[in-house]
Amino acid sequence: MRLLDSIRTPHDLRRLPIEQLPVLAQEIRDAICEQISQSGGHLAPNLGVVELSIALHYVFDFSYDRLLFDVGHQCYPHKLLTGRVHMLPGLRTRAGMAGFPEPRESEYDLFSVGHAGTGISTAVGMARGDTLNKEGFDAKANPAGRRVAVMIGDASIVNGVAMEGLNNAGTLKRQFLVVLNDNGMSISKPQGALAHYFDKVRLSHMYADLKRSAKEALQQLPGGGAIQDALHRATEATKAAVSDANWFEHFGLLTVGPFDGHDLPGLIDVLREARDMERPMVLHVKTVKGKGYRFAEADSSTFHSPSPFKVDGGLQSEGCRVELKTEGRSFTTAYADAMVSLMERDPKVVTCTAAMPDGTGLSKVMPRFPDRSWDVGICESHALDMMAGLAKTGWKPFFAVYSTFLQRAFDQAFQEVSLQGLAVRLCLDRAGLVGGDGAVHHGFCDVSLLRTLPNAALTAAIDEPSLLAALEFMRQYEGGLSSVRYPRDIVSDRLITQECPPFVLGKARCLTPALDPTNPVASEASPDLAVLAFGTPAITALDVADSLRPEMRVAVWDARFAKPLDTGLIRALLERRIPVVTVEDHSIVGGFGSAVLEAAQEMRLDGSLITRLGLPDRWIYQDSRSKQLAEVGLDASGLARAMRQAWEACNSDQRAMAK
């Protein structure tokens, strides 16, 4: 039996002799890699923290102590050590474990978290709370009290919120441990001056000077001998540096490291000392992202969060060939090609991303236009402010960002962009339901947030031609902030034979022109029902409309704009008493459907004819995107059911009025 199968709780882990822990580490790596090859998921970041996770659970008792995660996608080893091996086969589905910390699964997960920068601040809050509750660790007054540790990594330390957390952590008068997992990467290569600082620490040859400063620091530490021993075991000289006079000192944090994050005995020794330290400190640990598998180490960006893959030649072999499974052309790929074309045609177009060049497609753009494209690291607020500055100086900035991460920069969208009347363009990848990443990553509120901003032009793409047309509209739009949203999905070729007309501000596109009651040359009678779809649900609505004929005639519009709306179309439909169904892959609260309902009320039209479909006012947890769409009624069968109900309700009301 594997050692891993014997670990039901961390108490079982602590019964193992240290000599067996490397075997357990390899079993954890094998289990994670085998599962992700079948289901997809976060691979390289989890492979890099296996020893660190084992050491933390070996030293601390997190059934009582506090362990918080920053960049929660590094939690797989932690989950396997806390009784969830049986949930691994269902990774990122409702039947198994989430890909991020999830308190619904286990008491060992304290926050459901998938956004970077938050861990230190929440840990400071728990440390203060435990102290106020008389439960915090104090070597004299409460030696059995709760300790607090937070793991931060993948370059999240450069995030502004992390800086704020560090600033406040330095004021604590108690034990508080920040474990800095420094793997020299974020999702891709980290950016900025702080990243270069860590590179300098890792690569410095001033070993003798560092050793001298280490001895001085160790004299101030209780039980410093264990840390001194760990230093002698370090295989790389720069990993043996201990100094309390480095960059983190400015936050009032004692710093130890960098240490070898794959040296289990050394990690355990230094963590035992850190566990009882009565002041806030940073343990700087150097790890290798993708550790243990040559293909993941060599290309940790590609294998940060890969789709399912197949390995030929053996996982451990140097010459193994890895083939990622693909299902078709993605919106992200389509966006990348569109941006290359846009920047070739217009030398004033510039673009940036916040640590997501691969995830947003800009990894294809940046080598072509190195002077007009930037990756600013995990700093969305800074990115949008920088785009505002570029707009102010006459450039045409496009900010490529996941919809879920736009939330972190809404203040800048309001203050530095919209209030100034600047034309900054937001390209919102992963809009709507995102599948396996679950509730922490759904792009469910970008419309609700952005439509509060005066003069904003909010668009959505339904396929690749409409994405290109939306970007071209945004390139020319100078009235203020603009955005286009598109999902983590494959682009449809349903309309490939039809010409995609240009976007015109506030105008929808009829996808069933024969049923357009506003078109004087429409070849058919007025429709029984009208669907106004914002984004890719328009394609599903078209398929459903075909399936419902001849039972009912359904006209489908690609709404194109959530702001400004096509109020002329809304008036024409409601004045003709044609029931309207709005559809969106976005929250029902404050989204496109709400905007349509508000417009009807302002025009004194009958809002009872409007049925809104969207994401319900509850959390949608991890599973495949197709299952999530079915769960919320946005798949084909759900739309068909809603269309029939809306039509029947309207007919029933009309019969009642006739009587």
Are 470 and 522 within one domain? no
Are 140 and 261 within one domain? yes
Considering 485, 502, 526, which residue would you say is the last residue of a domain? Answer: 485
The predicted structure's pLDDT at residue 257:
83
CATH number at residue 612: 3.40.50.920
Are 532 and 592 within one domain? yes
| Full residue range of the structural domain in which residue 203 is found | 62-75+98-286
* Range with lowest mean pLDDT among 22-26, 157-161, 323-327, 417-421: 323-327
User: Has residue 321 been placed in a domain?
Assistant: no
Res 185 pLDDT > 80 = no
* Whether residue 380 lies in the annotated active site: yes
Catalytic residue (choose from 380, 416, 464, 584) = 380
Question: Strand pairing of 554-558 and 349-353?
Answer: unpaired
Task: Name which of 230, 254, 248 is nearest 240 in CA terms.
Answer: 230
Are 540 and 417 within one domain? no
**Pick the residue with more confidence: 389 or 197?**
389
Task: Find out whether 409 and 434 touch, Cβ atoms under 8 Å.
Answer: no
Are 412 and 555 within one domain? no
Are 436 and 383 within one domain? yes
* Dihedral class, residue 628 (left if φ above 0, else alpha if ψ from -120 to 50, else beta): alpha
User: Has residue 521 been placed in a domain?
Assistant: yes
Are 558 and 617 within one domain? yes
Are 381 and 273 within one domain? no
* Whether residue 408 lies in the annotated active site: yes
Res 207 pLDDT > 90 = no
Task: Kindly state the average pLDDT of the residues 575-585.
Answer: 97
Beta strands per DSSP E along 276-424: 280-286, 309-312, 321-324, 349-353, 373-375, 396-402
Provide, rounded to the nearest whole percent, the portion of the chain with pLDDT above 90. 77
Catalytic residue (choose from 66, 146, 372, 408) = 408
How high does pLDDT run on average in the chain?
Answer: 89
Res 244 pLDDT > 60 = no
Res 211 pLDDT > 80 = no
* Whether residue 310 lies in the annotated active site: no
Per-residue pLDDT tens digits for 501-556: 999 999 999 999 999 998 887 777 789 999 999 999 999 999 999 999 888 999 99
CATH number at residue 389: 3.40.50.970
In 612-637, which positions are buried (b, 16+ CB within 10 angstroms) versus exposed (e)? bbbbeeeebbbbebeebbebbbbbee
Considering 229, 252, 286, which residue would you say is the last residue of a domain? Answer: 286
The predicted structure's pLDDT at residue 201:
45
User: Has residue 215 been placed in a domain?
Assistant: yes
Are 406 and 366 within one domain? yes
Per-residue pLDDT tens digits for 396-415: 999 999 999 999 999 999 99
Are 136 and 280 within one domain? yes
User: Has residue 237 been placed in a domain?
Assistant: yes
Work out the pLDDT band at 192, boundaries 50, 70, 90. Answer: low
Element (H, E) at 425: strand 425-429
Considering 263, 286, 309, which residue would you say is the last residue of a domain? Answer: 286
Are 339 and 245 within one domain? no
Res 220 pLDDT > 70 = no
Are 479 and 527 within one domain? no
Work out the pLDDT band at 357, boundaries 50, 70, 90. Answer: very high
pTM over 0.85: yes
SS3 38: helix
Question: Strand pairing of 176-182 and 148-153?
Answer: parallel
Provide the domain count of the chain.
3
User: Has residue 388 been placed in a domain?
Assistant: yes
User: Has residue 47 been placed in a domain?
Assistant: no
User: Has residue 307 been placed in a domain?
Assistant: no
User: Has residue 169 been placed in a domain?
Assistant: yes
Res 295 pLDDT > 70 = yes
* Range with lowest mean pLDDT among 70-74, 266-270, 569-573: 70-74
Catalytic residue (choose from 29, 174, 289, 430) = 289
The predicted structure's pLDDT at residue 543:
97
The CA-CA-CA angle for residues 310, 315, 321, to 5°, reads: 55
